[in-house]
Amino acid sequence: MIQLIAESGSTKTSWYLIQEDQELCSTQTLGMNPYFTKKEELISELTTVASFLNDHLGSTREKLKTIHFYGAGYGNPATRRMLQEAFQEVFPGSSVQIETDLLAAARALFGTEPGIACIMGTGSNCGLYNGIDFIDRAPSLGFSLGDEGSAGFFGKWIVRDFYFKRLPTHIEDYVKTHFNMDINHTLDRTYRQKHGNAYIASFAQILATFREEDYIVDLIERAIQEFLTYQLGYFQASHQRKVGMVGSVAFYHEERIRKILAKNGWDLVKVLQHPIHDLVAFHNKK
């Protein structure tokens, strides 16, 4: 059986075509978060994927019967319905399963075992997973109200500290050199253009450049503590203490996160920068 597996974040979507335990081909398109992408744009991205598959499969394209799509923003029935309609237009006859990016994380991290699955990438979220589905999930309040410990969280602090002249001088100079910091540009990119969350999250790249600086160390530890308090803290009453994380923030700051979590009674058992490969493996086993 030929299956198409897709995992979509705020900035990109990874697509893997598999048959049994063999990867046939893969590609990437733009992120397909429904809160930043109109239905017409979803159809355009899916058409790009369909064209890619036609080039690689030719006449065997008709054998594609099952599509598993995981994405940020699809916990809402209305957004699922919008994407389902887009898939029906571009991939008529295919069975499409649309799930959240958090379920992708859980299946990639734990397979059919229980644990608390966390995302710490452009955004953040976590849920209590029983090996099949979620028993409970922390409220996902998005870029403005939530996303503790995410790249977006770091970006907001860095941008705000820049304009209020709270950055160390050499970090401020770096920001001026690598970003357009005209305030009107920043406000336009954040509030008027698409993917403002991803734009602000892009400032988090500064963490890697200055990772040993006191300002950055303090910022990282503050963000992890915020994630611990609000996201993991939501499950404080649960007996489950096994935690897995996906996302670049978790990947690059794994040891610091592990130490802070351990001090508070949590066991970080697995970290993945990208869930797609382990997600493909999960579907290969089914």
- Interval 228-258: pLDDT, tens: 999 999 999 999 999 999 998 899 889 989 9
Residue 110, in any domain of the structure: no
Q: Which pLDDT score, from 0 to 100, does residue 143 have?
A: 65
CATH code of the domain in which 79 resides: 3.30.420.40
Residue 15, in any domain of the structure: yes
Residue 139, in any domain of the structure: no
Q: Which pLDDT score, from 0 to 100, does residue 124 have?
A: 87
Q: Which pLDDT score, from 0 to 100, does residue 194 have?
A: 74
Which residues of the chain register pLDDT less than 70?
A: 58-62, 142-143, 145-146, 286
Q: Tell me the CB-side half-sphere exposure of residue 54, using CA atoms within 13 A.
A: 8
**Number of domains observed in the structure of the chain:** 1
Residue 132, in any domain of the structure: no
Q: Which pLDDT score, from 0 to 100, does residue 36 have?
A: 77
Residue 14, in any domain of the structure: yes
**Pairing relationship of beta strands 64-71 and 2-8 according to DSSP bridges:** parallel
Q: Which pLDDT score, from 0 to 100, does residue 57 have?
A: 72
Whether pTM exceeds 0.75: yes
DSSP codes of every residue in 68-81 = EEEETT-SSHHHHH
Residue 82, in any domain of the structure: yes
Range of the domain at 94: 2-105+276-285
Q: Which pLDDT score, from 0 to 100, does residue 248 have?
A: 87
